[in-house]
């Protein structure tokens, strides 16, 4: 490489704007069809558990508290999810979505990757009954009589 060629490249680079983006201080909107964190609308859910059955990564668990009063808790394991949106496609009641707003999902501890969706009292009951570090598998809670 000749010195004249190299010097012209250096001078051109000094006076040109940077090619990188200043992320995270300057953010662009995420694409509309980006598959981010799973969100669940429990008012539409019937508890059919089709989402959990069809999840290829077993990242979703439906915990039944009381089917008659539509009390369910959905446990979502973000660290196991492959973000394939198979659960969204198979949900008959459109109660599951992949958010394009929440896609920065890094965390320092593993507990942040397990999300419980449901009413606050039902989630508290499940956490109290089964604990935060319950082994994977299908769970069914018995309602207090």
Report yes or no on 62 lying in a domain: yes
pLDDT higher than 60, residue 141: no
Across the range 119-142, mean pLDDT stands at 64
Q: 78 lies in which domain range?
A: 30-130
Report yes or no on 93 lying in a domain: yes
Report yes or no on 18 lying in a domain: no
Res 137: pLDDT: 41
CA–CA separation, 139 vs 71, rounded Å? 14
Report yes or no on 12 lying in a domain: no
Report yes or no on 72 lying in a domain: yes
Res 3: pLDDT: 80
Report yes or no on 15 lying in a domain: no
Percent of the chain, pLDDT > 90? 16
Report yes or no on 52 lying in a domain: yes
CA–CA separation, 28 vs 26, rounded Å? 7
- CATH code at position 65: 3.30.70.3270
Domain total for the chain? Answer: 1
Res 135: pLDDT: 39
Taking the complete model, does pTM exceed 0.95, yes or no?
Answer: no
């Amino acid at each position: 490489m000749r010195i004249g060629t190299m010097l012209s490249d250096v001078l051109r680079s000094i006076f040109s704007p940077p090619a990188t983006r200043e992320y995270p201080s300057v953010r662009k909107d995420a694409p509309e069809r980006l598959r981010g964190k799973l969100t669940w609308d429990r008012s539409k859910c019937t508890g059919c558990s089709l989402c959990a059955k069809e999840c290829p990564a077993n990242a979703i668990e439906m915990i039944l508290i009381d089917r008659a009063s539509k009390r369910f808790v959905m446990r979502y394991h973000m660290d196991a999810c492959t973000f394939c949106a198979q659960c969204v496609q198979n949900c008959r009641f459109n109660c599951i979505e992949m958010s394009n707003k929440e896609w920065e999902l890094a965390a320092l501890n593993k507990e942040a990757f397990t999300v419980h969706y449901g009413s606050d009292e039902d989630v508290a009951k499940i956490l109290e009954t089964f604990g935060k570090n319950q082994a994977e598998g299908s769970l069914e809670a018995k309602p207090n009589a």
